[in-house]
Amino acid sequence: MEVRVSRKEHFNAAHKLSNPAWSKEKNLEIFGPCANENWHGHNYDLIVTVAGRPDPDTGFVVDLKRLSDLIRREVTDKVDHKNLNVDVDFMHGVMPSTENLAVEFWKILQPKISAISRFGKLHSIRLYETPLNYVEYFGA
Amino acid sequence: MEVRVSRKEHFNAAHKLSNPAWSKEKNLEIFGPCANENWHGHNYDLIVTVAGRPDPDTGFVVDLKRLSDLIRREVTDKVDHKNLNVDVDFMHGVMPSTENLAVEFWKILQPKISAISRFGKLHSIRLYETPLNYVEYFGA
Amino acid sequence: MEVRVSRKEHFNAAHKLSNPAWSKEKNLEIFGPCANENWHGHNYDLIVTVAGRPDPDTGFVVDLKRLSDLIRREVTDKVDHKNLNVDVDFMHGVMPSTENLAVEFWKILQPKISAISRFGKLHSIRLYETPLNYVEYFGA
Amino acid sequence: MEVRVSRKEHFNAAHKLSNPAWSKEKNLEIFGPCANENWHGHNYDLIVTVAGRPDPDTGFVVDLKRLSDLIRREVTDKVDHKNLNVDVDFMHGVMPSTENLAVEFWKILQPKISAISRFGKLHSIRLYETPLNYVEYFGA
Amino acid sequence: MEVRVSRKEHFNAAHKLSNPAWSKEKNLEIFGPCANENWHGHNYDLIVTVAGRPDPDTGFVVDLKRLSDLIRREVTDKVDHKNLNVDVDFMHGVMPSTENLAVEFWKILQPKISAISRFGKLHSIRLYETPLNYVEYFGA
Amino acid sequence: MEVRVSRKEHFNAAHKLSNPAWSKEKNLEIFGPCANENWHGHNYDLIVTVAGRPDPDTGFVVDLKRLSDLIRREVTDKVDHKNLNVDVDFMHGVMPSTENLAVEFWKILQPKISAISRFGKLHSIRLYETPLNYVEYFGA
């Protein structure tokens, strides 16, 4: 029996999209206003989903307090009120598109779920850049 | 051809999380404020998804009025404005975690979908305990 | 110049509506399922609004981190994961209707705003019992 | 590596549900108020999901500005502020249930994604008729 | 002491905006796609607010079950799944703009609040035509 | 007769809070993570409310398409995907708190409403910095 359990967290950050191999003109042509050199920013919503069978002692796939603490300590505390291009170690050299952020969050969280859940594994990362735009990643 | 059709319903209920095999101290250690012996409660949102091919006469996988009536009669009328530990027959002896509620709702609804839909089968139960916490169950 | 600044917090609680001067039958007649003797519960959303002129040094009517800390310490920590009829000192002898909760929250917070805001005063308390039902109180 | 990217758009339209092979009475019996002969209407929300690997040059599975432009030009501009039974070419002879709308939107968009995305394919169409009712289609 | 109590209801309807004193061309020029002669439609959200002092016996300004029943019987049942220009008695001869709908709903509900609330009076009508557009009316 | 009509728009921007008269240490002490020197950002939601009597020819206090166009041209196009401290003329020398942004938006829009509405005046600016934090301004 498998149940999926999801926890939503949020963070606010600045970024810009800019390929260092391209001219300023090409970056503006491809990325439009997202390439604004003085940055822009977003309120991001992050939904982390863990799948597994409920522990018979607790009825939990994963304790959501512990999942929330893990996401905050390992991910959102490192990006909240930060510049994603400049301030975040694990984004150095990575274009801060929503796609790439979700993949990096997966890499950080996937190995750490077993420490907080006997039967659960990371199932997906859903990341909203705006209420109209979001991405999902399910691992390689 | 398969289309998935979803209907959202809601209910308000009290519960507490407490393993009868454990001491009061251990329950507070594991469940934290969710173990408060005088109960707490939630506004639950329930999304029931039925999958199948649309009936050529109606364009419907399932008539959403009939699906809504079924969910209310069989599930939400039995838990709305109730205590999930005390008042609900199908939760006796079951820890009222969101995971376990979703599984019990599946067991009730799964055999009853064929009575209201020619081609549809129950696909999933999604249950929000709060806007930040939800679970999904897709059957055994 | 006056600007109104609002902060949203939330809590989860159990309660029931029951007038001790009435019979069980009359309580059920008047309050319907809200009188269920084994309790029910809600996810409450609380919006606290402070009005005043922005401090010229900060651009703030009130520092929202300090307002959030105040609301949590004085109000939501005292009602979250609690039974509003049984566990909450300031609700003893008060029917826990959404109206009365909002008035009690006002009485607690109104005298404490001046400690965190040079120019601001409490303007209103908005309390959602469900996404469909809410109350507002603006002081006596 | 596959990431799913979703874009939400919306439109407002009138429709009615009515099977031309049936009497007025049978249509009212089966479709209830949805068969009202003078029409009713909805604010529809449409979520289009594209799946693929992020382009290494941009970090994008698909440029969301181009995806939004495609959805508007090919789908929502053709149904927004329209009567789905009368005004929309691709719905002629099709019952305008949410299920059938989602399938027709898929048929229009699926062949056009490759023109705006090197690695992406259409993954799903999610269509909300109301906040309580939605359908999803993943292709035949 | 005054508390404001609000209840949200919804309905789905078709309409068009068209001034019968104007040519078809002028209507299209002024109302744009809202003048589409074959109609369009919306999911409307209606929030009705009653203000007064809480009844000491119940803690209620108004029983929200009775307020909901009143709104449904007198207003939303008469416009739900209807054409606002054609099917609704109280809108005959009235342009079905959101502004005019709110005013007509006020005229219907204002005299009826005293029948369900000892101390409350109608305070406002808020009507959402879409999540981005809404109106409020507070009486003449 | 007065009706209030509201239109919601949005924009995404970067900013930081920093008083140039203060040391770096004092700015971090007062503004916390909002003073991060490499910026952070938000998805802002802006609600502009116009009050007046409906025009008898149209049923409109203000044409919402024209109000939306005005807000975009005069306000959101100038702040969207921008750095509020660096890129925005009307914010030079103004601390970009949500309070101050709302006041500046009022100053821009208030004189321009009469050009698009015969009977309406600007009533309020509501600005959400996050779903949990917002401000309102009603003019001096």
Residue E33: name the closest of D82, D134, D10, C17 by CA.
Answer: D82
B97: confidence class by pLDDT, cuts 50, 70, 90: very high
User: Would strands B82-83 and D121-130 be described as parallel, antiparallel, or unpaired?
Assistant: unpaired
Mean predicted lDDT score pLDDT of chain F: 97
Spatial distance between the Cα atoms of D133 and B49, rounded to a whole number of angstroms: 10
A120 within 8 A of A113, measured Cβ to Cβ: yes
Beta bridge partners of C3: C52, F137
Spatial distance between the Cα atoms of C6 and C136, rounded to a whole number of angstroms: 13
Spatial distance between the Cα atoms of D57 and B128, rounded to a whole number of angstroms: 38
**Is D136 in the active site?**
no
Task: Give E107→chain C minimum CA distance, Å.
Answer: 22
Contact A39 F83 (CB under 8 A): yes
F58 within 8 A of F102, measured Cβ to Cβ: no
Tens digit of each residue's pLDDT (9 = 90 or more) over E26-42: 999 999 999 999 999 99
Q: Name residues 61-100 of chain E within 8 A of F (Cβ).
A: 94-100
Vertex A136, ends A132 and A138: CA angle to 5°? 175
Spatial distance between the Cα atoms of F88 and C88, rounded to a whole number of angstroms: 49
H or E stretch covering B99 = helix B98-109
Which two three-digit tokens encode residue F12? 């995404």
Which two three-digit tokens encode residue D140? 């035949």
**What single DSSP character describes residue A28?**
H
Residues 6+ apart with CB under 8 A from A17: A27, A31, A34, A35, A95, A96, A97, D58, D59
Spatial distance between the Cα atoms of B58 and B40, rounded to a whole number of angstroms: 44
Count contacts between D and E (CB, < 8 Å). Answer: 73
| DSSP letter for each residue of F2-66 | -EEEEEEEEEEEEE----TTS-HHHHHHHHGGGG-TT-EEEEEEEEEEEEEPPPTTTS-SS-HHH
| DSSP letter for each residue of F60-92 | -SS-HHHHHHHHIIIIIHHHTTEETTTT-GGGT
Across the range E113-126, mean pLDDT stands at 97
Residue to mutate among D40, D79, D83, D86, with most E CBs inside 10 A, is: D40
3-state DSSP percent of chain B in helix, strand and coil, to 5: 35, 30, 35
Sort out which chain A residues have CB atoms less than 8 A from B99's CB and list them: 3, 5, 54, 59-61
**Is A34 in the active site?**
yes
Chain Cα centroid distance, residue F111: 15
Mean predicted lDDT score pLDDT of chain C: 97
Across the range E54-68, mean pLDDT stands at 97
Residue B124: name the closest of B4, B9, B3, B10 by CA.
Answer: B4
Residue F84 burial (10 A CB sphere; 0-12, 13-18, 19+): buried
Q: What is the pLDDT of residue D50?
A: 98
Which two three-digit tokens encode residue E108? 């219907």
Q: What is the pLDDT of residue E118?
A: 94
Name chain C's partners: 3 or more CB pairs within 8 A: B, E, F
Give the CB-side neighbour count of residue B7, counting CA atoms within 13 A.
18
Spatial distance between the Cα atoms of F132 and F43, rounded to a whole number of angstroms: 12
Task: Give B4→chain C minimum CA distance, Å.
Answer: 26
Q: What is the pLDDT of residue A95?
A: 97
% of chain B residues with pLDDT over 90: 99
A48 within 8 A of A68, measured Cβ to Cβ: no
Across the range C10-16, mean pLDDT stands at 98
Across the range C3-9, mean pLDDT stands at 98
Across the range A60-65, mean pLDDT stands at 98
Q: What is the pLDDT of residue B63?
A: 98
Which two three-digit tokens encode residue B112? 């009853």
Which among B38, B40, B87 has CB closest to C12? B40
CB-based contact, D17 to chain E, within 8 Å: no
Q: What is the pLDDT of residue E96?
A: 98
Mean predicted lDDT score pLDDT of chain D: 98
Is the ipTM reported for this complex over the cut 0.90?
Answer: yes
User: Would strands B133-137 and A3-15 be described as parallel, antiparallel, or unpaired?
Assistant: antiparallel
D100: confidence class by pLDDT, cuts 50, 70, 90: very high
Which among D34, D80, D83 has CB closest to E81? D34
H or E stretch covering E57 = none
CB-based contact, D60 to chain A, within 8 Å: yes
Contact A17 D57 (CB under 8 A): no
Q: What is the pLDDT of residue E15?
A: 98
* pTM of the predicted model as reported, rounded to 2 decimal places: 0.97
Q: What is the pLDDT of residue B24?
A: 96
CATH topology of domain B3-41+53-97+113-137: Tetrahydropterin Synthase; Chain A (3.30.479)
Spatial distance between the Cα atoms of E91 and E79, rounded to a whole number of angstroms: 10
List the end-to-end C-alpha distance of chain C, in Å, as a whole number: 23
Sort out which chain E residues have CB atoms less than 8 A from C96's CB and list them: 59
Contact B54 D97 (CB under 8 A): yes
F135 within 8 A of F104, measured Cβ to Cβ: no
Query: What chain A residue is nearest to F34 in terms of C-alpha separation?
Result: A81
Tens digit of each residue's pLDDT (9 = 90 or more) over F88-137: 999 999 999 999 999 999 999 999 999 999 999 999 999 999 999 999 99
Q: What is the pLDDT of residue D40?
A: 98
CA distances from F122 to C20, D140, F6, F68, F113 (A): 50, 52, 10, 14, 7
User: Would strands D121-130 and C3-15 be described as parallel, antiparallel, or unpaired?
Assistant: unpaired
Beta strand residue intervals within chain E, DSSP E: 3-15, 40-52, 82-83, 121-130, 133-137
Positive or negative: CA dihedral E23, D77, D99, B43? negative
Chains E and C touch (3+ CB pairs under 8 A): yes
Name chain E's partners: 3 or more CB pairs within 8 A: C, D, F
CA distances from A87 to A60, A61, A92, F131 (A): 36, 34, 9, 25
Residue to mutate among F34, F37, F39, with most A CBs inside 10 A, is: F39
Q: What is the pLDDT of residue F132?
A: 98
Tens digit of each residue's pLDDT (9 = 90 or more) over A69-122: 999 999 999 999 999 999 999 999 999 999 999 999 999 999 999 999 999 999
Across the range E103-119, mean pLDDT stands at 97
User: Would strands B3-15 and B82-83 be described as parallel, antiparallel, or unpaired?
Assistant: parallel
Q: What does the domain layout of chain E look like in residue ranges?
A: 3-41+53-97+113-137
Contact E99 F65 (CB under 8 A): no
DSSP 3-state of C118: coil
Residues 6+ apart with CB under 8 A from D102: B3, D125, D126, D127, D135, D136, D137
Chain Cα centroid distance, residue C98: 8
The type of residue at B105 is F
Across the range B63-76, mean pLDDT stands at 98
Across the range B72-99, mean pLDDT stands at 98
Mean predicted lDDT score pLDDT of chain B: 98
CB-based contact, D30 to chain B, within 8 Å: yes
For residue B114, count other CB atoms closer than 10 A to its CB: 12
Q: What is the pLDDT of residue A34?
A: 98
Q: What is the pLDDT of residue C124?
A: 98
Beta strand residue intervals within chain C, DSSP E: 3-15, 40-52, 82-83, 121-130, 133-137
CA distances from B50 to B60, B116, C10, D44, F44 (A): 11, 11, 33, 20, 36
Chains E and B touch (3+ CB pairs under 8 A): no
Q: What is the pLDDT of residue F73?
A: 98
Chain Cα centroid distance, residue B55: 26
**What single DSSP character describes residue B80?**
T
H or E stretch covering A39 = none
Any idea which residue has 């409350």 for tokens? E120
